[in-house]
Structure 1
C-alpha cells in the first residue's frame, strides 16, 4: 500500500512555505521603513493557502528552464498593500515598524507551530513504518 503524503501531512506542508514567504514580505517592509514612498505589503494567507492546495498538489518544483511553470506566482498574486494605521509622515512611506514587528513575531510563532505539526506527522509515519 502506497503512502499518500498529501493526506498524511495535511495542510501543514503548504502552511510552512506560505509562512516563509510572508516572513520575507514582512522583513522587506521592516528593511524599507525609512525608504521614501515605500508601501508596506502583506499576504492574504487564507487565499494563498487555498491556491497552494489546489494548484501545487503537494509538489515542490524548481524552475530550471524558462518553459517551466512559475509556482512563485501562485502566492505573489495574493500579495497586497497594507492599509496604514498612521497618518502620512510626509515621505509617502506606509510602514509602521511596531505593527510589522508584531506581524513578524506572530508569523514566526505560526511558522514554528506548523513545523511542530509536520514533525509530529513525520514521527507518526516513522512509527507506523517501524510497526510500533
Structure 2
C-alpha cells in the first residue's frame, strides 16, 4: 500500500535523521582512530545515496502500491592521500568541521520533523 504523502514526508525525515546519525558515528570513529597507524578515514557516500534514492522515487512515483524506497548509504574511504608517514590520513580539522556540519544538519532535520508533527496535530484538531 502506498503511504499517504504526509507519511512519506515523515518517513523521509526519519531516514534523513538516521543517515546523519550514522555519519556522526563514522566521523567519531575517525576521530577516535586519529593516532592509529595505517587507519584510513571513512565517510558515507551521500551523493550516490541521493542519486539512488531520487532514481527509486521517480520509478515508484507512478506505481500505486509502492512505498517510497529506503536505502542506506555505503561507507567509503575518504579519497585523500595519507597525511602522515604512518599512513594515517585523519585530518582532525576536517573531521571536526564535518562533525559540526552533521550536527547542524541533524538539528535541522529535527526541527523539520517537529514542524511536520505540529502541522499533523493541527490537522487532527481541526478535523474534530
- With the length of structure 2 as denominator, give the TM-score of the two structures: 0.74
Q: Equivalents in 2 of 1:94, 1:118: separation in Å? A: 36
Moved beyond 4 Å, runs of 4+: 49-55, 57-60
1:42 corresponding residue in structure 2: 43
Residues 18-43 of structure 1, C-alpha deviation per residue, up to 9 Å, x if partnerless? 10100111010000000111100011
- Tell me, in whole angstroms, the C-alpha distance in 2 between the residues paired with 1:117 and 1:17: 14
RMSD between superposed Cα atoms in Å: 2.6
- The equivalent of 2:97 in structure 1 is 102
Deviations 1:59-93 (A, max 9, x none): 99xxxxxxxxxx8xx33xx21111226x5311110
Unaligned runs of 5+ in 2: 58-66
Q: TM-score, normalised by structure 1?
A: 0.72
How many pairs align? 113
Q: Compare the two structures and name the one with the higher helix fraction.
A: 2
